[in-house]
Amino acid sequence: MSCEKLDGLPGIEASGSLLRADPYRVAALPGTEIPAYEVSAGFVDLLGVHPMPDSGFYLASTLANRWEIKAGAVLQTDLGEAPVLQVFNQSEEDGRDPRLNNALLTIGAPERASECWVDIWPYTTSLDHLLFSALISDEAGAESAQIVAANPTAGESADFHEQFSNRITIHSYPAIVVLFGILGFAGMLRRRLEIASNLHSGAGRGAVTATAVVETILWATVGAVLSASISVWVGQAVGVSVGASTFLVLAVAVGIAALGASVPPLWIGEERLFRDFKNRT
């Protein structure tokens, strides 16, 4: 199986091959050889930019910034001129392979590339046999081939429990529940004149409280449904599924809103009617 065909297999997000090529000399630096690599279209896609149908160079942002050029610029080399098709994001400080920081990449079809790069998420050693399947068994050095991380500083394992426990949205669920409770309580508290008036007119406290709870459940349910719909839509847009816990939290939030709305009718008395009427705004 070739390196390119690994792309799309379960667990593999992208794959591409890389082969060292003859260096270039650019007109602006005639005495300096610029490293060059021939890569596959999948390798360019793995770098986060889209491969172009035209021939030309792909540069790391570190090199493009140093030369003060952008995509669309034309480089004069010892083999002729060629445009800069894309500039991919690359940093000298994030631990990624530094060879690409100062190299010119061109898309080719290296049948026997020296390296096969893959993007695996989440990383697992169970896919190693697929990576080794891209080797040519009779090629020199095939037996000593190794699987290494493209960015060793990022490690080769992920602690998903720690990442989940330290996520920036860890307090969003309780915050939503508290917010619904505050809205339910505040909404009924603003209607204290209406509540006192109903009690003065002979309505039972239980009936007033039940009315407040039902009305609150109605608007809270609408808010929860809208929130759930937006969550699902955003999740689909970014490729993340919305778990059942989200819907459970919204259901609890509706209940807490109803509970908060039931508090004012239980302690507001009809004796507040004239005072609240006088102080109304």
How is residue 242 written in tokens? Answer: 């919305």
How are beta strands 104-107 and 115-120 bridged, if at all?
unpaired
Per-residue pLDDT at 21? 92
pLDDT (mean) for 73-86: 92
> What are the Cα distances from residue 106, in Å, to 85, 87, 170?
10, 12, 44
Class of residue 110 by CB neighbours under 10 A (exposed 0-12, middle 13-18, buried 19+): buried
Q: What pLDDT digit, counting tens, does each position of 3-19 carry?
A: 888 887 888 888 888 99
3-class SS of residue 137:
coil
| H helices present in 95-204, as ranges | 128-132, 160-165, 172-189, 192-200
The radius of gyration computed from the CA coordinates of the chain, to the nearest angstrom, equals 32
**Using 50, 70 and 90 to split pLDDT, how confident is the model at 1?**
low
Q: How far is CA 185 from the centre of its chain?
A: 36
**Which is higher by pLDDT, 12 or 272?**
12
**CA pair distance 51, 43, nearest whole angstrom:** 9
Per-residue pLDDT at 148? 77
Q: At what angle do helices 172-189 and 192-200 cross, to 10 degrees?
A: 50
**Which is higher by pLDDT, 135 or 259?**
259
Per-residue pLDDT at 194? 81
Per-residue pLDDT at 62? 92
Query: 128: which strand partners?
Result: none
**Which is higher by pLDDT, 110 or 50?**
50
13: enclosing H helix or E strand: strand 12-26
Q: What pLDDT digit, counting tens, does each position of 52-66 carry?
A: 888 999 999 999 999
Q: What pLDDT digit, counting tens, does each position of 164-194 carry?
A: 677 777 788 899 999 999 999 999 988 877 8
Q: What pLDDT digit, counting tens, does each position of 116-165 carry?
A: 888 887 777 777 777 777 776 555 555 667 777 777 666 556 666 677 67
Q: Is the pLDDT confidence value at 84 over 90?
A: yes
